[in-house]
Amino acid sequence: ADRHTIRKAMRGQPGELDSYRGEGGTVYPFYTANEQSFDDDDTPPPTPMWSNLPPPAPPETASRWKAVRKQISVAGRFWSAGQDRAEEAAVSALSELLQGLVAQGALSLERRLVEHRDTPPGAVWPHGWPPRYTQRVLQLPLTEASVLDLVADLSAGALPPLQYVAGLLHAAKASLAQLPNVLRHDVPTGCAVTVVGDLHGQFGDLLHVLRSRGFPSPARPFVFNGDFVDRGPASVEVALTLFAFQLLLPNSVFLNRGNHEERSVHALYGFQRECNAKYAPDAGGAAAYELFSEAFEHLPLATLLNGKVLVLHGGVDDEMTLEQLERLPRKEYAVNQANLLGTGRPGLVHPHMRARLAEIAAREKELRPINSALWNDPCAEPGVYPNRYRGTGLLFGADVAAGFLERSGLGLILRSHEQVPEGFHWPYGPGRHLATVFSASNYAGKTLNKGAYALLGATGSRLSDPALSPLPLDAAPGAAAPAASPAAEEEGATAEHPFGGLRFVSFDAEELPRLRVSQRRHQLVASAVLAQRDELLAAYQAADRGATGELPVDVWEEETRRVLRTPPMLLPPMRCFLLGRDWGGSPTVRYQAFLGRFRLAVPQLAPLLPYRDYLVLLLANLDAKRSGAVSSRQFAAACKALHSQFGAAAALCAKPEEVLAAMGMAAGRGSREGSVATR
C-alpha cells in the first residue's frame, strides 16, 4: 500500500485497507468517518471526500500537530512491518538457496566459488567499463588492513570512491612535501631492498613483484623508481597503491620521481585520459587528476642506499653533483621540450619575452640537474650529447658516469627510464658504474621484453644470504632458481660489492598468471587447515605414539592429505608454504608449530570459518548488480539464513551486528551507512 491509500483510510474514505498488523501481532485499525477518530481530543472527524458539506473549521495548532505526529507514527509502523515482511521473504529465499548448496556437496560449492571469483565487478562490460567503485571506507591515517583491502579491491577491478581518493592524495602530497630531494636508507642486516623500475600503469607487473617478494614492511623495504603512470591501462591503480604504501610505511617505501610524473608528459601519454574515464570530470573527477599531478610534483628525485648506491630515474651529466641535486627546488621544475639543449635550432620569440631570455636561460641552467636526473640516458661514446630522440635531456658516456661517482663519493648508479630486453642491463659492461632496471614486461603490449627488479642487501652482504634469494616467497627449500637466458648470463645478473650483494631477477609476462594460480592454491589449502585444525591435531596426536610432538615428514604429509582430502599432486610443492622457510628440509615436523602458523586475524570469527564460503555465495546472490556491496539488511538476511540452516554451530550469525563488529571498524561504519562491502 502507498501513502495515498493510507491517507484515504485515515480520512474515512473506503479504501483497500481497514487495518494492518504491526510488531508483536498487534492489529492497528484505520478509523473511518463513522467511527471514533484517531485523535484523543474532540475534533470532529474528517469530512468524507464525497460530501457536499463545507469543510470544518481548522483545529487548534496543537491538535493539528498532534494529528500529524500520529499519522507519521502509523505510517512508520506500517513501513516497518513491510520491511520486516520483505526481510522474511529474503531469508526464506536464501535458506532455499543454502539448502541446495549443502545438498549439492563440496565440489559444487567450490565450482560456484570459482565462478564468483573469476567474475569481478564490472566484468559484464568489455574491458571492465564502465568502472566500478567499492563501498569500502578508506579512513586516514591508514592501517595495514586498510591498505591491503585497497589492494584487494583494486585487484578485483573496484576503484575507491572519489572522496576517499581525494583524501589519500591530499595526505600523500603533505607527506611527500616534507621529504628531501634525496632520500637515504641503510638496508638492515639480513634484509634486502627491492628496487622496482618503470611500471607504466601495468598493475599486473606490480602485483607480481609483490607476490614474489611480499608486501612492504620494515624488514622488506622497497624503492619505486619513477614512471608509475602512462601507456598502461591501470595507472590510477598503480599510483594509488604506491601512495598508500608510502603513507603506511614512510621509512620503508621510497618513491622517486620519473619523467612521466611531469604534468606536460602524463597529460599527453594517457594518464589524464584514464583519470577522466575513471573519475568523470563533470562529477568532480577533474580534481582527482589535479591532485595526482600536485602529489607527483612533490616526489623526491633520488634515493641513496647504504650510502653508496644512488637510485634515480634517468641519469647524470658532466657537471652534476649529489649536493646540487639535494638543494634544488624540485617543485618548480617543468620540462622544456622546445629547448633541445644546444642543438642550435632557431625558434620564434615574442618581443616581450626577449628581455627575459637571460633570466630563463639562467633558471634552466640552475634546474639542469633535475632534468638530467629525470631524462638522461647512457651511451657508448664518451662525453655528453643532446638527446635528439627524446627532445630533451642528454646522452652521457662511461667517463661522465665515473666522474659523477667520484665527485659524489658513490659506488653505483641504479636507474630505469629505458625498456631493455631482459629487464636489466649494464650499458658500460657488467658491474661498471651504472645499471638499468625496467619492470614493465611486454611493455605497452607492443614488445616482448621481460620485466625485472633489483635486490640489494645490507653493506657487506653476500649473494648466498637468504634475503637475496631470487625465488618467490612460497618456493620449496632446495628449489632451483629460474634458468637465466644466455643474454642475462652475459650481462651478469649478480654482483658482490663492498656496499652489498646485488641481484637482478627477471620475469616474463607468462609468469604472472602462473604465480597467481599457485598462490591461489596455497590460499585454499591454508583455509582448509584453518577450518580443520582440530581434526588435524587429533590425527597428528594419534600418529605420534611416543607423544614427542614431532612426526616424520612422510607421516605428517600422509595424515595431512587424509584429513584435508588433498590430491597427492598438490601437497609436495606446498611444503615450504605450509611449514615455512625456516623448516629448511628437516626430516621431522613439529606439528604444533605447524598448526600455530595458521590463525585468523579476528579469532572471534573462528566459529564462522566452516561456513565462510556459503556466506560469500549468499552475498554474491544478493549483489545482483555486481557492485561489490550489499545493504546492511541484506547482510543480516544472509546471516539469519546461515543460522537457520546450521543452528547452534553458526550461533554467531544470529546477531549480524556482532559479526560486523568483529569484522572491524570499516564494516561497522559501512553498516551504519547502510551498506556492507562483500569483498
pLDDT: which is higher, 391 or 310: 310
pLDDT at residue 313 above 80? yes
* pLDDT average, residue stretch 440-458: 91
- Quote the pLDDT of residue 337: 46
The answer as to whether 607 is a domain residue is no
**CA 33 to CA 10: how far, in whole Å?**
9
Comparing 55-64, 309-318, 388-397, the range with the smallest average pLDDT is 55-64
The answer as to whether 540 is a domain residue is yes
The answer as to whether 34 is a domain residue is yes
Asked if residue 527 and residue 504 are part of one domain, the reply reads no
The answer as to whether 567 is a domain residue is yes
* Full DSSP string of 473-494: TTPPTTPPPPPPPHHHHHH-SE
pLDDT: which is higher, 476 or 449: 449
- Quote the pLDDT of residue 73: 64
Asked if residue 448 and residue 530 are part of one domain, the reply reads no
**CA 108 to CA 178: how far, in whole Å?**
54
**Which domain range does residue 43 map to?**
3-83
Angle between helices 271-278 and 285-297 (to 10 degrees): 140
The answer as to whether 64 is a domain residue is yes
pLDDT tier at 221, thresholds 50, 70, 90: very high
Most confidently modeled range among 352-366, 381-395, 597-611: 381-395
Q: Which three cell numbers stand for residue 455?
A: 635486490
Asked if residue 546 and residue 503 are part of one domain, the reply reads no
**CA 261 to CA 374: how far, in whole Å?**
10
Q: Quick one: which H or E segment has residue 547?
A: none
The answer as to whether 96 is a domain residue is no
Which letter does DSSP use for residue 12 in this model? T
pLDDT at residue 81 above 70? no
Per residue, the 3-state secondary structure of 567-588, as one string, reads CCCCCHHHHHHHHCHHHCCCCE
CB neighbour list of residue 635: distance below 8 Å, 6 or more residues apart: 619, 656, 660, 671, 676
675 beta partners: 631
Angle between helices 511-531 and 203-213 (to 10 degrees): 50
- Quote the pLDDT of residue 104: 57
**CA 555 to CA 77: how far, in whole Å?**
64
With 0-12 CB in 10 A as exposed, 13-18 as middle and 19+ as buried, what is 207? buried
Q: What is the CA radius of gyration of the chain?
A: 33
Among residues 572, 596, 620, the one where a domain terminates is: 596
* Full DSSP string of 30-85: PP-TTS--SSSS-PPPPPPTT--SPPPPP--HHHHHHHHHHHHHHHHHHHHHHHHH
* pLDDT average, residue stretch 315-322: 93
Asked if residue 444 and residue 571 are part of one domain, the reply reads no
Asked if residue 562 and residue 451 are part of one domain, the reply reads no
The answer as to whether 13 is a domain residue is yes
Asked if residue 542 and residue 454 are part of one domain, the reply reads no
Identify residue 185 by its one-letter amino acid code. Answer: H
Is 260 designated active site?
yes
* pLDDT average, residue stretch 403-416: 95
Query: With left for phi above 0 and alpha for psi between -120 and 50, is residue 429 left, alpha or beta?
Result: left
Number of domains in the chain: 3
- Quote the pLDDT of residue 111: 53
183 beta partners: 303
Contact 178, 185 (CB under 8 A): no
pLDDT tier at 478, thresholds 50, 70, 90: very low
Three-class secondary structure of residue 369 per DSSP: helix
pLDDT tier at 390, thresholds 50, 70, 90: confident
Render pLDDT for 606-658 as a digit per residue (tens, 0 to 9). 777 777 777 877 887 777 666 666 777 788 888 888 888 888 877 888 888 87
Asked if residue 529 and residue 467 are part of one domain, the reply reads no
pLDDT: which is higher, 185 or 18: 185
Estimate to the nearest angstrom the gap between the alpha carbon of 198 and the chain centroid. Answer: 19
* pLDDT average, residue stretch 67-85: 58
Catalytic position from the list 200, 260, 266, 313: 260
Render pLDDT for 573-596 as a digit per residue (tens, 0 to 9). 566 667 765 566 678 888 888 888
Sign of CA dihedral 315, 318, 321, 324: negative
The answer as to whether 605 is a domain residue is no
Asked if residue 446 and residue 553 are part of one domain, the reply reads no
Render pLDDT for 329-366 as a digit per residue (tens, 0 to 9). 888 887 764 443 444 444 455 566 566 666 667 777 88
For the chain, the average pLDDT equals: 77
**CA 292 to CA 266: how far, in whole Å?**
11
Render pLDDT for 517-560 as a digit per residue (tens, 0 to 9). 777 777 777 878 887 888 889 999 999 988 899 888 888 888 88
Angle between helices 203-213 and 235-248 (to 10 degrees): 40
pTM score > 0.75 for this model?
no
pLDDT at residue 388 above 90? no
Asked if residue 32 and residue 61 are part of one domain, the reply reads yes
Q: How many CB atoms lie within 10 A of CB 457?
A: 26
Q: Which three cell numbers stand for residue 165?
A: 581518493
**CA 143 to CA 411: how far, in whole Å?**
37
**CA 11 to CA 5: how far, in whole Å?**
10
Among residues 51, 83, 115, the one where a domain terminates is: 83
Angle between helices 533-543 and 553-564 (to 10 degrees): 140
CATH assignment at residue 400: 3.60.21.10
* pLDDT average, residue stretch 229-242: 94
Among residues 596, 627, 661, the one where a domain terminates is: 596
Render pLDDT for 428-446 as a digit per residue (tens, 0 to 9). 999 899 999 999 999 988 8
- Quote the pLDDT of residue 49: 44
pLDDT: which is higher, 465 or 95: 465
pLDDT at residue 140 above 70? yes
Asked if residue 488 and residue 428 are part of one domain, the reply reads yes
190 beta partners: none
Asked if residue 493 and residue 535 are part of one domain, the reply reads no
Q: Quick one: which H or E segment has residue 678?
A: none
- Quote the pLDDT of residue 627: 60
Phi and psi torsions of 587, nearest 5°: -75, -10
Asked if residue 404 and residue 381 are part of one domain, the reply reads yes
Quick one: which of 294, 311, 323, 308 has its CA closest to 255? 311
Render pLDDT for 1-25 as a digit per residue (tens, 0 to 9). 455 554 554 554 444 444 444 444 4
